[in-house]
Amino acid sequence: MTYNMDAALRSASTLGTKVDALFLTMLGITGIVAVGVAVLIVLFAIRYRHGSKADRSHPPTRVRWVEITWTTTPLAIFLVIFFWSSEVFTQFHRPPDNALRIHVLAKQWMWKLEHANGRREIDELHVPLGEPVELIMTSQDVIHSFFVPAFRVKQDVVPGRYTNLWFTATRAGRFDLECAEYCGTEHARMHGAIIVMRPVEFADWLAAGTAQPGLASRGFDLYRRVGCSGCHEPTSTVHAPDLTGLFGNPVHLADGSRVVADENYIRDSILQPQKQIVAGFDPVMPSFQGQLSEDDLIALIAFIQSRGNAP
């Protein structure tokens, strides 16, 4: 695969435009300072060179206005950059609610991607143009990092938990996807592509070739097969919380704290049920550590999420 220089240089996401504006401003400011210092070095070197007739009497020892200016001006500039970059940073960490959710599973040395309807891809991710896409990512082995230079986004992909990343693509085409964390001998070959398509074409692409059941229905299957339903169905005799409407909502825990039921909470509930006990329930749920693969967990979470909006 050849590195697509042009595609990476021009930003191709909504966030990318903002990152570029910030970056170019900082480059401009530091550039002006660097050029200014360089020019003064040359000028002073000429003017005060050995043997020159420059006036060296009464050198100034205290020039208050210079000191005040060189303290307050950089401070003001740094504060502007601080608030500006915090704004961009916050936006990167706040995916819109309507984002299309796609699961990413990294392993040595490939990217496995799964869409909500069950369509899977390896080292290629198709996404719609102009629509927010949120990735829910985890690793099967070591730490990897999901990096799309043209979108100006990068996020570590860590085993044992989920990390998120989102973007809205602003140009159709093919963009490089890299692993930006040294993850073993073939790390350098762990790359792929993001293919941005018009929404209609994307819908066609997504619908084509889905012989497998969707994520949520695979999750429902597991939910019954491994025995979650035996406790969690409202008809069950075990006193266990109803999972309907759980996803994205706050949960009261036995220790008095409150958490939002996101992917990481549900993952931990399944693998380490003793870690956070729901208020009003006994800690009788067994751990499913070692019994469920990452794919299974993704499916179970998608199933619980699909029950989220049910009354």
Least spacing, CB of residue 141 vs Cu ion, in Å: 9
Residue 214: partners with Cβ closer than 8 Å, 6 or more residues away: 116, 117, 118, 302
Least spacing, CB of residue 107 vs ligand HEC, in Å: 22
Which among Cu ion, ligand HEC, none contacts residue 190 (Cβ within 5 to 8 A by kind)?
Cu ion
| CA gap 268, 281 in Å, rounded | 16
Closer to Cu ion at the Cβ: 190 or 197? 190
Out of 127, 148, 183, 285, the residue judged to bind Cu ion by CB under 5 A: 183
| CA gap 198, 240 in Å, rounded | 45
Which among ligand HEC, Cu ion, none contacts residue 179 (Cβ within 5 to 8 A by kind)?
Cu ion
Query: Reading across the β-sheet that carries 120-122, which strands appear in turn?
Result: 120-122, 110-114, 100-107, 132-139, 163-168
Which among ligand HEC, Cu ion, none contacts residue 228 (Cβ within 5 to 8 A by kind)?
ligand HEC
**Sole residue written with tokens 């070095």:** 41
Which among ligand HEC, Cu ion, none contacts residue 31 (Cβ within 5 to 8 A by kind)?
none
Closer to ligand HEC at the Cβ: 285 or 298? 285
Closer to ligand HEC at the Cβ: 215 or 266? 266
Which long-range contacts does 3-8 make (Cβ < 8 Å, 24+ apart)?
Answer: 3/176, 4/174, 4/175, 4/176, 7/150, 7/173, 7/174, 7/175, 7/176, 8/149, 8/150, 8/175, 8/176
| CA gap 212, 12 in Å, rounded | 32
Cβ neighbourhood burial of 304 (10 Å; 0-12, 13-18, 19+):
buried
Out of 231, 245, 262, 306, the residue judged to bind ligand HEC by CB under 6 A: 231
| CA gap 113, 2 in Å, rounded | 22
Query: Which 242-301 residues touch ligand HEC, going by CB under 6 A?
Result: 243, 246, 251, 261, 266, 269-270, 273, 277-278, 281-286, 288, 300
**Sole residue written with tokens 């392993």:** 107
Which among ligand HEC, Cu ion, none contacts residue 283 (Cβ within 5 to 8 A by kind)?
ligand HEC
Least spacing, CB of residue 273 vs ligand HEC, in Å: 4
Out of 31, 184, 199, 230, the residue judged to bind ligand HEC by CB under 6 A: 230
Which H helix or E strand runs over 127?
strand 124-128
Least spacing, CB of residue 116 vs ligand HEC, in Å: 18
165 forms part of the interface with Cu ion (CB under 5 A): no
Which H helix or E strand runs over 145?
strand 144-148
Closer to ligand HEC at the Cβ: 179 or 297? 297
Which residues of this protein are in contact with Cu ion, per CB under 5 A?
144, 179, 183, 190
Which residues of this protein are in contact with ligand HEC, per CB under 6 A?
226-228, 230-232, 238, 240-241, 243, 246, 251, 261, 266, 269-270, 273, 277-278, 281-286, 288, 300
